[in-house]
Amino acid sequence: MSEWLTSIAETPEGARLAIILALMSAVAHASFGALQKGRHDPWLTRGAIDIWLAVLSVPLVMLVPFPEPQLWPVFAGMIVIHFIYKLTVALAYQQAAYTVVYPVLRGTGPLVTVGAAALIFNEHYTLVQWLGVGLLSGSILALSGLNWRHAHLDRSAMQKGLLWAFAGGLMVALYTTYDAWGIRLPKDPFTFLAWFFFLTALDFPLLAWLRWRRLATRPALSPLLTRGFIGALIAYVSFGGVMLATRLDRVGDAAVLRETSTVFAAAIGWLVLGETVGWRRGGLMALIAAGAVLVEVGAA
C-alpha cells in the first residue's frame, strides 16, 4: 500500500484521494471536538486519549520499517511542537467556553498554513484561492465572535482562553507544515505515522496523572478511559488522514479542507446533541463551506 500511495502522489488520482482523506479528517476532528465537549477536565481527557494512543501504537511501530537515522531529529522536533500544541489547547479549554475557543483554534491555522506552504513547498495559489482561504478563516473567526456574544461566562477568563486558542491556532499551522515535511522524508509514510502516534502520546499521560493526584474530587477512571479510547481511534483518522493527504497533494489544500470540521461540528451539535444553530450560525457555516469550495475550484 505504501508503494501505491507513493506512486499516485501529485497525480490527479492522488489529489482525489487527498480530498477524501482531508474531509474524513474534518469529520473525525469534529467528532473529536464533540467528545471533548463533555464533562471531563481537558487535561485528563487528553491524557486518557494519549494513554490509548501509546498503547495501541506499540504493535504498529513493530510492523512498519524501522525509521532511518535522519528521522530521529525530525521526531524530536515533532514531539516538542505537538506538546506545545496540546498545552495551548488544554489551557484554552480550561479558561473559556468550547464554542468560543474552538473556532479560533481552527480558524487561525489555514491562512498561516497556506502562506507557509507557498514559501516552504513552493505551492502556488490563485487570487480566487486566497479569497477562499480568507473567506473560510474569516467566517470561522466570526463564528467565534458570535458565540462570544452569547456566552455567559467571566470575560477575563474568556480573553485568556482566546489568547491561548490563538496560540494554538498558530501551532496548528506549524505542526501541519512540519508534519507534511516530515512524512515526505521516509520511503514508507506509515513509518512516520506509526512513530508519530507513539512518540507524541508519551507526555500528557504523565501530566494528567499528576493533575489527577492533586484533585480534591477525583473523577471515576472508567468513563474517562472509555472516552480516551474512543478519542484515540478518532485521532488516528483525524491526524493520520490529513497527514496522508499532505503527502499525496498540496499541503495548503488539505489544511483548508480539514478546517471544514467546524461545519461538521455544527451539524453534529444540531443533529446529535440537540443544539440550536440559528440563521446567523447557519449563514457562517455556508460561508465556511463556500471558502473551501473556492480553494478547490480556483486552482489555475
- 68-96 tens-digit pLDDT: 999 999 999 999 999 999 999 888 888 77
The answer to whether the beta carbons of residues 165 and 171 sit under 8 Å apart is: no
Report how far residue 105's alpha carbon sits from residue 190's, in angstroms, rounded to the nearest whole number: 27
| Residue 254 reports pLDDT greater than 80 | yes
Average pLDDT over residues 11-28: 86
Question: C-alpha grid cell for residue 136?
Answer: 473560510
Report how far residue 271's alpha carbon sits from residue 129's, in angstroms, rounded to the nearest whole number: 31
Per-residue pLDDT band at 35 (split at 50, 70, 90): low
Per-residue pLDDT band at 41 (split at 50, 70, 90): confident
Cell 449563514 maps to which residue? 283
Q: DSSP for 39-85?
A: SS-HHHHHHHHHHHHHHHHHHHHHHSPPPPTTHHHHHHHHHHHHHHH
Does residue 178 or residue 156 have the better pLDDT?
178
| Residue 300 reports pLDDT greater than 60 | no
Average pLDDT over residues 256-262: 78
Per-residue pLDDT band at 60 (split at 50, 70, 90): very high
Note the pLDDT of residue 48. 93
Averaged confidence pLDDT in the chain: 83
Note the pLDDT of residue 101. 76
Note the pLDDT of residue 84. 96
Average pLDDT over residues 204-213: 91
Note the pLDDT of residue 78. 96
| Residue 6 reports pLDDT greater than 90 | no
Provide the residue ranges of all domains of the chain, joining segments of one domain with +. 2-297
CA dihedral 123, 127, 128, 132 (to 10 degrees): 70
| DSSP code for 209 | H
Note the pLDDT of residue 127. 86
Please state the pTM of the whole predicted model.
Answer: 0.87
Cα separations (Å) of 294 from 39, 92, 135?
37, 30, 9
| Residue 126 reports pLDDT greater than 70 | yes
| Residue 37 reports pLDDT greater than 70 | no
Note the pLDDT of residue 155. 67
Average pLDDT over residues 90-117: 77
